[in-house]
Amino acid sequence: MESKAKILGHAIHPILIVFPLGLLATAVIFDVLFLATGNRTWSFVAFWMIAAGLIGGLVAALFGLIDYLNIPNGTRAKRIGMYHGLVNLCAVVLFALSFYLRWHSPIDDTTTTPPTTALLFSFAGVLLALLGGWFGGELVERLGVGVSPAADLNAPSSLTHGKAFEADVRHRDLHPTR
């Protein structure tokens, strides 16, 4: 099944998710640098990266929801799509909590240390985002959602079975010349 939300022939959701995923993961890297160096500038930068990642995540989620609502009910793809969305929503909530806990310091303050719970929320958030990304990969790479009109929306899990398609859907000639 092809995506219902497209721009220039490509699904919008997978285009947009790279931004929040990259921003939120990099925020965690900056938090680790803060912990390793004690330089609070790293946690200050992480704060703003989380802010941008949350905004980007909500925009990407909107287009993901459009695609999810168009997956036929009763299919494995619908169930995996629900897991993908819920896990990523939990990741965004954890990052939002981390952002909120960091908010107590003035916006331009690079001298305040973020609370330990804020760091733990961001670390847990990135782990959930990785799991959510796996579910997204299962939707696209295994089930063909958003990339193939001939998608097998009930293909077995990539953890327990071999190839879902006889041919790689990215290289199939879906529109042969006549």
Question: pLDDT for 24-71, tens place per residue?
Answer: 999 999 999 999 999 988 999 999 999 999 999 999 999 999 989 988
Q: Cβ distance 127 to 100 under 8 Å?
A: no
Q: In this model, does residue 107 exceed pLDDT 70?
A: no
Q: In this model, does residue 167 exceed pLDDT 50?
A: no
pTM: 0.83
Q: In this model, does residue 22 exceed pLDDT 60?
A: yes
Task: Place 173 in a pLDDT band, splitting at 50, 70 and 90.
Answer: low
Provide CB contacts within 8 A for 33, sequence distance 6+.
39, 42
Q: What is the pLDDT of residue 178?
A: 45
Crossing angle between the packed helical segments 76-102 and 116-137, to the nearest 10 degrees: 160
For all residues of the chain together, what is the average pLDDT? 85
Q: Is 157 helix (H, G, I), strand (E, B) or coil?
A: coil
Task: Place 109 in a pLDDT band, splitting at 50, 70 and 90.
Answer: low
**27-41, 115-129, 131-145: range with lowest mean pLDDT:** 131-145
**Rounded to an integer, what is the distance from CA 55 to the centroid of its chain?**
13
Which of 155, 167, 147, 140 lies closest to 2, judged by CA? 147
Instruction: Write down the H helix ranges in the chain.
Output: 12-16, 18-37, 41-69, 76-102, 116-137
Q: Is 8 helix (H, G, I), strand (E, B) or coil?
A: coil
Q: In this model, does residue 174 exceed pLDDT 60?
A: no
**Rounded to an integer, what is the distance from CA 155 to the centroid of its chain?**
22
Q: In this model, does residue 1 exceed pLDDT 50?
A: yes
Which of 10, 124, 26 lies closest to 67, judged by CA? 10
